[in-house]
Amino acid sequence: MFQKILVANRGAIARRVIRSLRQMGIRSVAVYSEADKDLPYLAEADETYAIGAAAPLESYLNQDLLLQVIKESGADGVHPGYGFLSENATFAARVNASGARFIGPSPEWIEAMGHKTRARETMARYGMPMSPSSGLLDEDWTATLAAAEKIGFPVLVKPAAGGGGIGMLAAHSAEELQNAVTQARSMAGRSFGSAEIYLEKLMVQPRHIEFQILADRHGNACHLFERDCSIQRRHQKVIEESPAPRLPRTDVEAMGDRIVQAMEASGYDVIGTAETLRDRDGLFSFLEMNTRLQVEHAVTEEITGIDLVAAQIRLAGGARLNEVIPSQPQINGHAIEVRIYAEDPVRFYPSPGTLKTLRLPSGPGVRVECGFSEGNRITPYYDPMIAKCIVHAPDRAQAIAGMRAALEATVIEGVKTNIPFAQKVLADATFASGEVHTGLGMQILGQ
């Protein structure tokens, strides 16, 4: 078991990991940039280290500085959280080479799944269903158009690296495709350092269903059910829930079992999330594998009672799956999460500023993960998420009602937030019916 773990992240996820470390009796090491020196997670860690200026490249993405902290602190493990270096195979390999252990999948798996076209090729070999797609596109417009016509319009232009919906653009015609390819290359290059893109069939009103995977280093894997992440704004998740509403359990369980079989056959390890789309005919299609803890992991924790952070740490340390979780995990009730962002609720532009008032909800069934305290500043340097609110209830209707009450009780002043958008979705009759799809959020907003 680990003795001391460096949390190579910030804010809410750093705070979340530190909480599990304390419960496990493992000492925690926190790092912070100049912009984060007043955030509350620092007071909750056993040790803290300043790692540079506010810009991520000079702090949380600076591998040399983080490796130096590993050496100075004597940490024998590194938890990367999500974002930043959590899916960076080079960093994972360097951590392991330093004598510490990267708390995530093996670097080989991070590398294999970090590139979307290679990930699709890998998972196709293990029987995962795939929607039609192209290989990597070169600069030959004739070949690009031919690939799109072979797939059939509409298509989605997607960066091969990165995530979070950045650079994903729809094209319904050849003219739209040419513009989308140019824009997607530019966005991908700026955001991920790679301008590689490919095409994928654009499904009409699909469901975004993802499966939480745990696996040990001894060939065993399992899924902890699914999360429905269909409520999005511009391809980025805003509301997640589990179990997925109005889906046959037999269909969902069959897909989950299929993914587990692929994970065991391939030798995948520690933690991951298999993301899929489900079309209106009920067919699943593999999208990608996220080789890290997800932002929305708390939804699964609430319905299963399993601490995913603790499980991830123990599996990375070599524990067997049956030592970490119950042999037959069960779904208990329903959980919904809303991501609360400092952003304009209509145009979704970031809204940095000082949190002059920060009153978050509490009560039975309500859980809040927040990286800030009143008076802290939401800076333009990082993701503008303020908090995640999770509500667990006996059924979906009660979870929705509880979330509506929780958001009504939330008071945030000093920045704009997306709470009005979330409230519109939660009050919508189509959402309440469970007939959700990836375009519903923007449809409710009238966009």
Active site residues: 292
Q: Does a cis peptide bond (omega within 30 degrees of 0) precede residue 243?
A: yes
In DSSP notation, 174-199 reads HHHHHHHHHHHHHHHHHHHS---EEE
Using the structure block, give the residue that is written with the tokens 């995913």: 308
Q: Return the exposure string of 239-258: e unless at least 16 CB atoms fall within 10 Å of the residue's CB, then b.
A: bbbbbbbebeeeebeebbeb
Nearest to 84 by CA among 4, 17, 173, 146: 17
In whole angstroms, give the CA distance from residue 180 to residue 169.
6
- In DSSP terms, 232 is beta-bridged to 237
- Answer for the pair 337, 426: CB distance below 8 angstroms, yes or no: no
CA dihedral 222, 224, 230, 231 (to 10 degrees): -150
The Cα-based distances of 225 to 212, 241, 309 in angstroms read 6, 11, 16
In whole angstroms, give the CA distance from residue 432 to residue 426.
7
CA dihedral 252, 257, 262, 265 (to 10 degrees): 180
30 three-class SS: strand
Q: Please state whether beta strands 357-359 and 353-354 pair in parallel, antiparallel, or not at all (unpaired).
A: unpaired
Nearest to 356 by CA among 400, 308, 412: 412
The Cα-based distances of 232 to 203, 328, 436, 444 in angstroms read 15, 32, 11, 11
Backbone angles phi, psi at 331, to 5 degrees: -85, 125
- 22's tokens: 């304390």
